[in-house]
Amino acid sequence: MLLIPAIDLKDGQCVRLKQGDMDAATIFSNDPAAMAEHWLAQGARRLHLVDLNGAFAGKPKNEGAVKAILKAVNGRIPVQIGGGIRDLDTIERYLDDGIDYVIIGTAAVKNPGFLHDACGAFAGHVIVGLDAKEGKVATDGWSKLTGHEVIDLAQKFEDYGVEGVVYTDIGRDGMLSGVNIEATVKLAQALKVPVIASGGVSNVADIEALCAVQDEGIEAVICGRSIYTGALDLKSAQQRADELSA
């Protein structure tokens, strides 16, 4: 089980939101590149970046911070990014800059043809991000609930050739209320590609609970607020996950 630190970017700063609310942002650092270095030093094996301004604007808005992070990481670990990726040119630019995986969320739901094209053009680099509440997919920075069932959409996108699915229970994200294990397992069981859990990680018990079901196809978990507040120690939690996976 891979623990992936999240670096959420808003106005060039590293922040955390509660349930996607841009007005409820806590600033954790004015130097995202230094934050990336910090997580590397703590043993991170992958980083998860989110361009929050980009998610709302529909195009990248924190490219300066992203480039600074990539320069700091310098190819030592893979970096994935989501938020505002709506066209093939943006994907190409990110990959050229050194991003390993792009995460397509809202655009995949609203414009499946774009996701299909992206998987064809950039095979091996495209992950789909599905945000859900009570089994239904949400879009537009979680502000709109659709009628789509998560599993149905995920299976369709798997057929397109996505590398994996980041699954976020938006009722729990940033709330430190525990991962929705049941829903995550249900999704993983329905797919052949790996699922990355996201939303609600609060402590090492959540990591242990995910490790117990990782054989269902849950490959990693994104950690946000918990590692910034100190509720979860990234280094020791990753060591614990390694022990349980051995």
Catalytic residues: 8, 131
**Phi and psi torsions of 43, nearest 5°:** 95, 15
- The answer to whether 220 and 197 have CB atoms below 8 angstroms apart is yes
> Which residues lie closer than 8 Å to 144 by C-beta, 6 or more apart?
138
Helix axes 150-160, 112-121, angle to 10 degrees: 30
> Which residues lie closer than 8 Å to 120 by C-beta, 6 or more apart?
161
State the pairing for strand pair 195-198/218-223: parallel
Dihedral sign computed on CA atoms, order 215, 131, 170, 30: positive
How far is Cα 188 from Cα 192, in angstroms, rounded to an integer? 8
Q: Taking the mean position of all CA atoms in its chain, how far away is CA 11?
A: 19
Dihedral sign computed on CA atoms, order 104, 102, 60, 129: positive
How far is Cα 97 from Cα 151, in angstroms, rounded to an integer? 33
3-state secondary structure of 83: coil
